[in-house]
Amino acid sequence: MSTSLEPDDEVVVLAHEQFPNRAKTAVGVLRYADYDVTAVLDRACAGDTVDDHVPGVSDAPIVAEMADALDVTDPDALLIGIAPIGGGFDESWRADVRAAIEAGCDVVSGLHYFLEDDDEFAALAADHGVDLIDVRRPPEDLTVSEGRARDVDADVVLTVGTDCSTGKMTTTLELVAAARERGIDAGFVPTGQTGIMIAGWGIPVDRVIADFAAGAVERMILDAAEEHDVLFVEGQGTIVHPAYSGVTCSLLHGAMPDALVLTHSAGRESIHGYEDFAIPPAETYVDLYENLADPVAPAEVVAGALDTRALDDDAAAEAAVDDYADAIGAPATDPVRFGVDQILDAL
Amino acid sequence: MSTSLEPDDEVVVLAHEQFPNRAKTAVGVLRYADYDVTAVLDRACAGDTVDDHVPGVSDAPIVAEMADALDVTDPDALLIGIAPIGGGFDESWRADVRAAIEAGCDVVSGLHYFLEDDDEFAALAADHGVDLIDVRRPPEDLTVSEGRARDVDADVVLTVGTDCSTGKMTTTLELVAAARERGIDAGFVPTGQTGIMIAGWGIPVDRVIADFAAGAVERMILDAAEEHDVLFVEGQGTIVHPAYSGVTCSLLHGAMPDALVLTHSAGRESIHGYEDFAIPPAETYVDLYENLADPVAPAEVVAGALDTRALDDDAAAEAAVDDYADAIGAPATDPVRFGVDQILDAL
């Protein structure tokens, strides 16, 4: 799966009424993608600029609709940067997608609703010679893992977590960037739709047939190991998740990492969306992940990443990070607040 | 998913050139299904009877093709009782399937190749008003687990294993039969194609989208718990399998069992088909399964089931079972050789 987005491409990101706080994909793309975001569509804050809401990334105008974006930029693609619960397509976006296709833009989407299966969009895209790229549709030719990922030459680092949404993708991307700054030939292995849109390639492991999930991860590892010396693999879910643990387990045994980075969200006490399921102590996770990895391909939790967004001041965040490091018996940091040097040093 | 097979139905089982040793589904159906197998198709041993090869089950003629079967029985269905590597449809079976449909039989298949997607069979089935039932096609409306299986009134027992093909389905079915003999209202929860064909319902968990695998298991548990006091859930794979561990993990956290029965195959030292991956000591599995279950829904390994087919005499088998019981710290048996009373007592 490739999104066909190139580093020099200009991209418009759709994030209606959800930018920035409920637009995880849009913000991820702004922060980490190589291509240029030249406009954001959000009718709720049109007239503002990206910098008003997300400082520290390349600035761009926020406009109300695709037609407005086409007045200020000549984009190569429109990217759907939000995902309603359930992953459906919001009909209020139809005019924007139509306008993008008519302007010769590819459209990149991570929705469960596949644009390719939408009769109007499919016909229009054919007329205008553009691609509809549904990154959540897995390749057709996946198969079972052969158990080969542990044999690759590259070092493989997998982020794991105490829950969903604990910063696995962010930590992974920060590690890639920092490693490259140190001159390390680091590769990012994306496993979810946002990561895939940022990187321009990848397989959405959660959408793969369960028997093929580890095989999908293995394929990505084997491919990426040809290109890089160190691979940072985006983890998913948590090994104690009532619904998604199978995906986490497939990632652990499919990637066969050499090292694990355990992510956690400060103050979270129960599984997000499953509040009757308590999050066990961090040291329990260290044992679970290491013991489960061991018979297949041994890996240690070598560092921790704590999301301290919930804590107001740096002193409290620092104390929380210290406590977390003690709990897991390894160095820890908040990748966003304090950087990832401690993790890289531990690796 | 229902196969529509009823207890009084007469069924012909296709097992060309593989009966009985490479016909796991055919033999499973003969041994455990409620409906009557009235003929087996195997051109390699036509003229024999089932009893010549599989003593102890209801006897039936083995014939060379469907036309011969129709001379001796008036079946309701043809069931594909073998699965070539890859799960494809062998064209040498086409005449049999055609003859079955033309005789008004439903056709039940667990192949990856869906009969419903075969143009000739689909048209013929429509003409003759029969159903093509692809048990490996999961329902369209699956979704994520809500984490509710631990709340059901029924007691839930899950078979887990040290590898694939260690007797999980057999152990589960023997437990159901023995529990019913004791007057317990026991239900079987099938999770693979053979179990589904035997039981006449179920979801093939390995074919489900990874994100929905635990949800598929949960749905079956919630449904079956309405009907029975004790549920015996057919396990899949092993938690340390390089390719299939994700399915195993989804079963553990989707079913949220109260008790686990650990199956193993005597003498096996490496993962079947993945010979570079050693099978760790049995006690390691006890810890792995129990520790992984604990944060979601605690469950203990209360008994073991050892497949001792590889051992010639009963004395050696008994010694192996004793060693296995010591290793896992729980009672053990070989369900086929010695029955499952010890497991039921432990439950």
Domain boundaries, chain B: 10-134, 149-346
pLDDT given at position A1 = 58
Average pLDDT value for chain B: 96
Which chain A residues are within 8 Å of B209, Cβ to Cβ? 206-210
Q: Which SS3 state, helix, strand or coil, does residue A120 take?
A: helix
Q: Per this entry, what is the length of chain B?
A: 347
Instruction: Tell me if domain B10-134 and domain B149-346 are identical in fold.
Output: yes
Q: Largest Cα–Cα distance in chain A?
A: 60
A329 backbone φψ class: left, alpha, beta (φ>0; ψ -120 to 50) = left
A144 CB within 8 Å of a chain B CB: yes
Res B167: pLDDT: 95
* Cβ pair A217, A255 in contact under 8 A: yes
What is the DSSP-derived secondary structure letter of residue A291?
H
Token representation of residue A94? 């139809």
Nearest to A246 among B250, B279, B280 (CB): B250
Tell me the DSSP string of A62-119: EESSHHHHHHH---SEEEE----TT-PPPGGGHHHHHHHHHTT-EEEE--SS-GGG-H
Q: Give me the mean pLDDT over the B54-59 stretch.
A: 94
- Distance (Å, rounded) from C-alpha A339 to C-alpha A331? 13
Identify the bridge partners of residue B132 per DSSP, sorted by sequence position. Answer: B107
A92 interfaces chain B, CB cutoff of 8 Å: no
One digit per residue, the tens of pLDDT, for chain A of length 347 reads 577 788 889 999 999 999 999 999 999 999 999 999 999 999 999 999 999 999 999 999 999 999 999 999 999 999 999 988 777 899 999 999 999 999 999 999 999 899 999 999 999 999 999 999 999 999 999 999 999 999 999 999 999 999 999 999 999 999 999 999 999 999 999 999 999 999 999 999 999 999 999 999 999 999 999 999 999 999 999 999 999 999 999 999 999 999 999 999 999 999 999 999 999 999 999 999 999 999 999 999 999 999 999 998 999 999 999 999 999 999 999 999 999 999 999 99
**Residue B117: which residues within 8 A CB-CB, separation 6 or more?**
none
Q: How far apart are CA B40 and CA B96, in angstroms?
A: 12
- Cα dihedral value A94, A95, A99, A102, nearest 10: 60
Distance from CA of A57 to the nearest CA of B (A): 33
User: A85 touching B, CB under 8 A?
Assistant: no
CATH topology of domain B149-346: Rossmann fold (3.40.50)
From CA B15, how far away is CA B34, in angstroms rounded? 19
The pair of structure tokens assigned to A254 is: 């499919």
Quote the CA–CA distance of B197 and B187 in Å, as a whole number: 15
If we measure between CA atoms, which residue out of B24, B29, B60, B63 comes closest to residue B43?
B63
- Is 3.40.50.720 the CATH classification of the domain at A10-134? yes
Amino acid making up residue B328:
I
Across the interface, whether the CB atoms of A147 and B247 are under 8 A apart is answered no
Compare all CA atoms of chain B with the CA of A275 and give the residue at the minimum distance. Answer: B147
Give the rounded percent of residues in chain B with a pLDDT score beyond 70: 100
**Distance (Å) from the C-alpha of residue A125 to the closest C-alpha of chain B?**
28
